[in-house]
């Protein structure tokens, strides 16, 4: 077995034993420091770092037991292994030393082979322990660095969202004034429509960034109340009508009018529906079929909503990343459509904050079906309905 080299402190009041140990250890390329009693040993330990201590028991000023008691009290020293060198016939003393924290013992005068084997075994354990400690410290340092970087990123997102809001609303106001300045020709109208479209996209992005920073700082809140989900589905479908027409899609709503009320936040539910229905429209080639279905699940005391499209679908190997922040498929058809990869991450968080569940199934090239459930208002506790709910980041 390969022999290790360490820095070893030999503590013994007997000069002959000290010399024997020094020679034997130096033959094995260890670095040896010597102390003649316990007190000198402790002074040396305070100034130098040792990998191992060979300790006599019976010594003047401070004996081996007292040295071990001192070592046990100082965390940095407690890591250093101690091999006790006891006189022949003092096995009780050796046992007491092991109870006080010594790792092993040798009988005087030590047998060279036994000395080498025990020193090697103790050093091996010590070095492994040191490596583990260093690894642990490195992991902790990396964890702190990642946490700090994440915090800086969250703060940057919040700041960027905040700072972009003002110039954007100024552009929007100026843009709106153009039509009042005088009659616009068709080319000018078309250009303004393009600017408006880009403005809407930027506004949506700012809202998403704002939501991300709220989610990550634990400041996202939902106000739960009894809600008519059917009305919200119709309202959302209405707001997306322009998109449905321009893409020649057909949008079918299978939602019974006698649906019981659910427990949810009105604005956040509109956001969830807009994202899921908007994605279905966006990721379906023109002329597709989008179907929204809502079912009252009596046994689960919940409402189950599905949004089905006949669109691009999601590749099997990408499916587990779909709700991850900033994830967008690598598919060129997906990449050709505008998006940030934030919508589903926010949507999932919002559904879960409203005590719901969200999932999906999809076949690449055939279409996707997103599902979510919401608790019935009649099942929600009074506390849930009365209080704002926040999520921690």
Residues at the site binding ligand ADP, with contacts judged by CB under 6 A = 275, 279-280, 283, 309, 311-314, 322, 327-329, 334, 339-345, 368
Please say which residue, 236 or 279, places its beta carbon nearer to ligand ADP.
Answer: 279
* Comparison of 80 and 334: residue with beta carbon closer to ligand ADP: 334
Using alpha carbons, select from 133, 113, 107 the residue that is nearest to residue 3.
Answer: 113
Which of 38, 343 has the CB closer to ligand ADP?
A: 343
- Residue 342 or 377: which CB sits closer to ligand ADP? 342
Task: For ligand ADP, give the closer residue by CB, 304 or 328.
Answer: 328
How would you class 148 by CB atoms within 10 Å of its CB: exposed for 0-12, middle for 13-18, buried for 19 or more? exposed
Query: What is the nearest approach in angstroms of ligand ADP to the Cβ of residue 138?
Result: 34
| First-to-final CA distance of the chain | 51
Going from the C-alpha of 387 to that of each of 224, 264, 295, 382, 383, the distances in angstroms are 7, 12, 27, 9, 6
Least CB distance to ligand ADP at residue 339 (A): 3
Four-point Cα dihedral 149, 150, 153, 157, nearest 10: -170
Are residues 271 and 350 in contact, defined by beta-carbon separation less than 8 angstroms?
Answer: yes
Least Å from the CB of residue 201 to ligand ADP: 10
Least Å distance, CB 291 to ligand ADP, is: 12
The single residue listed with the structure tokens 């354990």 is 125
Residue with tokens 């079906």: 369
Residue 151, CA distances (Å) to 52, 207, 350 in order: 43, 19, 21
Provide the b/e sequence for 325-353 (b: ≥16 CB within 10 Å). eeeebebeebeeeebebbbbbbbbbbbeb
Q: How far is the CB of 236 from ligand ADP (least distance, A)?
A: 15
Query: CB 200 → ligand ADP: shortest distance, Å?
Result: 14
Please, what is the minimum distance in Å from the beta carbon of residue 135 to ligand ADP? 37
Tokens of 256: 């019974």
Q: Closest CB to ligand ADP among 13 and 331?
A: 331
Which residue, 110 or 356, is less far from ligand ADP as judged by CB?
Answer: 356
φ and ψ at residue 162, rounded to 5 degrees: -65, -45
């Amino acid at each position: 077995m390969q022999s290790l080299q360490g820095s070893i402190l030999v503590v013994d009041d007997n000069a002959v034993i000290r010399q024997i140990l020094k020679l034997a250890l130096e033959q094995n390329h260890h670095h040896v420091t010597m102390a003649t009693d316990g007190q000198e040993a402790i002074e040396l330990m305070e100034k130098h770092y040792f990998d191992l201590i060979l300790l006599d028991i019976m010594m003047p000023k401070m004996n081996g037991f007292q040295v071990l008691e001192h070592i046990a009290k100082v965390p940095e020293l407690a890591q250093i292994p101690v091999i006790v060198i006891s006189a022949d016939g003092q096995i009780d003393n050796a046992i007491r030393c092991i109870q006080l924290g010594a790792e092993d013992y040798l009988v005087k005068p030590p047998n060279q082979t036994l000395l080498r084997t025990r020193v090697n075994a103790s050093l091996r354990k010590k070095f492994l322990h040191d490596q583990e400690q260093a690894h642990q410290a490195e992991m902790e340092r990396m964890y702190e660095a990642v946490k700090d970087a994440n915090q800086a990123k969250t703060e940057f997102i919040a700041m960027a969202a905040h700072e972009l809001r003002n110039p954007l609303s100024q552009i929007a106001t100026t843009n709106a004034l153009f039509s009042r300045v005088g009659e616009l020709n068709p080319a000018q109208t078309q250009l303004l429509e393009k600017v408006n479209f880009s403005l809407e996209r930027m506004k949506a992005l700012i809202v998403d960034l704002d939501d991300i920073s709220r989610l990550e700082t634990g400041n996202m809140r939902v106000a739960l109340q009894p809600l008519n989900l059917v009305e919200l589905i119709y309202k959302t479908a209405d707001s997306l009508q322009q998109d449905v027409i321009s893409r020649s899609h057909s949008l079918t709503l299978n939602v019974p009018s006698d649906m019981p009320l659910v427990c949810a936040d009105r604005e956040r539910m509109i956001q969830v529906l807009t994202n899921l229905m908007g994605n279905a429209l966006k990721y379906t080639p023109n002329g597709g079929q989008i179907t929204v279905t809502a079912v009252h699940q009596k046994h689960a005391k919940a409402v189950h909503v599905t949004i089905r499209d006949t669109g691009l679908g999601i590749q099997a190997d990408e499916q587990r990343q779909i709700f991850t922040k900033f994830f967008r498929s690598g598919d060129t058809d997906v990449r050709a459509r505008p998006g940030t990869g934030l919508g589903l991450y926010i949507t999932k968080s919002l559904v879960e904050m409203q005590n719901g569940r969200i999932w999906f199934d999809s076949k690449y090239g055939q279409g996707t079906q997103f599902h979510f459930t919401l608790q019935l208002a009649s099942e929600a506790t009074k506390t849930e309905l009365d209080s704002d709910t926040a999520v921690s980041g």
